[in-house]
Structure 1
Amino acid sequence: MIADLYVYELGDVVLLTVPRSVKDIVLAKLDQFVFSEDVQLGDVTDAFGAVTVVGPSAGDVCATVLGDGAERFRALATHGNRRGQFHGRPVIVLRVDDGGVPGFELLVETVLGVELRQQLRAAGATDVDERAAEALRIEGGVPRFGRDMFDDTIPLEAGIEGRAISMTKGCYVGQEVIVRVLHRGHGRLVKRLVGLALDTDGVPPSGTPVEHGGREVGRVTSSTWSPALGRGIALAYLHRDVVAPGTSVEVGGSKAEVVSLPFVGASG
């Protein structure tokens, strides 16, 4: 996979949200598949800014700032989208619940970003630093491209097949690999991304070996202290023989237990 991205159909345009580090690679790859189609590709990264609001009251806060009904935000399906207005200018609202709690990503023209943040604070939102946002992501069991997924990762290994792979449409780029794994290999993978509940207050850095029975069976990709669980947690790719929940392993010399993802489920 060259990226983990989301595709939003907005009527007159199709919007892709892509990790900034690979946006040029994705754009070039898409351009390779444009032949006689009436399609124009464009990079609007610098034209728009994104503000993400998460939490049980996220819909109410967004509704207050955008002057819309809160029920319309709550009714929006996960990864659904709608358009709104902020200071008379267009806003794209995306529903993003991947972190384990209700959330909305607001895309506005870059020049309105500061004002939007100020009004969100006035409506009751609180700024969250990168460390807290990362904890929320890992608690939700959400792998991040460039950290937990790379260009040699198969979506099935990362557990994102439910949202990243179509099992019904015709041929597409990468389909051959998926077919081989699911139909010829009966879904057996060498490794899978799992959660680890740590028995130590310390947080192992990315790349820390995971051992079972005296042999290395994988490595940590992301880790954090979980405020919700009151313990250290991590994401790691482990050999298929040790991915069952409840399996005991060692991480950096400390005990840990394999758990199902997400660590914390969605609420609200």
Structure 2
Amino acid sequence: GEEGLGLSVATCGLEAVLGHFNRFLPPRLARVEDLGDRVGMLTVLGPEAGDVVAAVLGAAPAEGFVLLDGGPLGEQADGEAGGALVARAVEQVPSWDVWLPAAGMPAAWERLGEAGAAPVGQAVWDTLRIEAGYPAFGTDMDETTIPVEAGLVERAFDHDKGCYTGQEVIVRIRHRGRVNWHLRALRFGEAAARPGDQLFEAGGGKVRGRVTSVAQSPRFGQAIGLGYVRREVEPPATLRLERGLGAAVGVELAEPRAAGSHR
């Protein structure tokens, strides 16, 4: 049978990804198919997330990508959810991404409610991913971002693999070079920061970074964010939201250890 590779891609990045494949992937080797109208994804998170997923799908999730309920990602005649592909969403929080046939999504949503799950919005996911140091495509990075800048190399690249498009840049940076910007976790306290704000060195006027994401964090009890900071600024450090005596911003390491999908 045919082998395949599934990619979960942010909607805002789909066109760029398909364009990249159409340009670099020879049709004789593989074909690319957009399954967005046939497969949907739900994220279940919270202390009881594993139990809720087990109650809905009939089997407990495990680390890695696991096919539950015995079947492939295919629609059933009765519209039930059928087989489901499950993977850990965010390492720091009990959470699971569940891929289902689109026809089974309404039934799965109803079962989640019956199992005790409550719907939340995009803002909750943004808070969790920012707390976890997880960059979002279209917000914290785009097709021009060097993966080393976003801290994705160790999680997303296989250094022992054969040749692939863009390998030269990654290898050169790893062995002989460096990047000028690094994704960092930011702590704003009570300051009103916004994506796009510049960060300045304390006591000076030089721009040392920029904010890309902001959320109010119950976990940290303050506004937090992600942003890119010059390599000369070694965490932990303090920058300012404005030149001179602007609000202090704590700069910490952002370690995107999350295993899940970009929204």
Structure 1 and Structure 2 fold alike (TM over 0.5): yes
Q: 21, 27, 43: which one pairs with 2:34?
A: 43
Contact 1:139 1:262 in 2 (8 A): no
Contact 1:195 1:233 in 2 (8 A): yes
Structure 2 unmatched ranges of 5 or more? none
Q: Does the alignment pair 1:116 with 2:108? A: yes
CA distance in 1 between partners of 2:17 and 2:194 (Å): 29
CA distance in 2 between partners of 1:107 and 1:198 (Å): 35
Q: Residue 14 of structure 2 aligns to a residue in which SS?
A: helix
**Percent identity between the two aligned chains:** 34
Higher relative contact order (CA 8 A, sep 6+): 2
What corresponds to 2:238 in structure 1?
248
Change (3 A) 1:258 1:264: farther
Counterpart of 2:238 in structure 1: which amino acid? S
CA distance in 1 between partners of 2:117 and 2:95 (Å): 12
Q: Does the alignment pair 1:190 with 2:177? A: no
Q: Does the alignment pair 1:151 with 2:137? A: no
Contact 1:203 1:224 in 2 (8 A): no
CA distance in 1 between partners of 2:179 and 2:102 (Å): 43
Q: 59, 62, 66: which one pairs with 1:81?
A: 66
How far 1:92 sits from its partner (Å)? Answer: 2.7
CA distance in 1 between partners of 2:257 and 2:5 (Å): 32
Counterpart of 1:196 in structure 2: which amino acid? L
Structure with more helix by fraction: 1
Contact 2:209 2:230 in 1 (8 A): yes
How far 1:130 sits from its partner (Å)? Answer: 1.5
Which whole-Å deviations, capped at 9, do the CAs of 1:186-220 have from their partners, x for residues lacking one? xx2211000111232x4411110101042111100
Counterpart of 1:247 in structure 2: which amino acid? A
Which whole-Å deviations, capped at 9, do the CAs of 1:132-153 have from their partners, x for residues lacking one? 1111110011000111011211
Aligned residue pairs, count = 245
How far 1:264 sits from its partner (Å)? Answer: 11
Counterpart of 2:63 in structure 1: which amino acid? L
CA distance in 2 between partners of 1:178 and 1:261 (Å): 20
What corresponds to 1:4 in structure 2?
none
Contact 2:215 2:225 in 1 (8 A): yes
How far 1:91 sits from its partner (Å)? Answer: 3.0
Alignment of 1:12-23 (within 5 A): 12-23=3-14
Q: Residue 82 of structure 2 aligns to a residue in which SS?
A: strand
What corresponds to 2:219 in structure 1?
228
What corresponds to 2:194 in structure 1?
205
What corresponds to 1:173 in structure 2?
165
How far 1:58 sits from its partner (Å)? Answer: 1.1
CA distance in 1 between partners of 2:91 and 2:187 (Å): 18
How far 1:28 sits from its partner (Å)? Answer: 3.2
CA distance in 2 between partners of 1:248 and 1:144 (Å): 24
Q: 247, 257, 262: which one pairs with 2:250?
A: 257
The TM-score with structure 2 as length reference comes to 0.85
CA distance in 2 between partners of 1:89 and 1:265 (Å): 26
How far 1:89 sits from its partner (Å)? Answer: 4.6
CA distance in 1 between partners of 2:158 and 2:257 (Å): 26
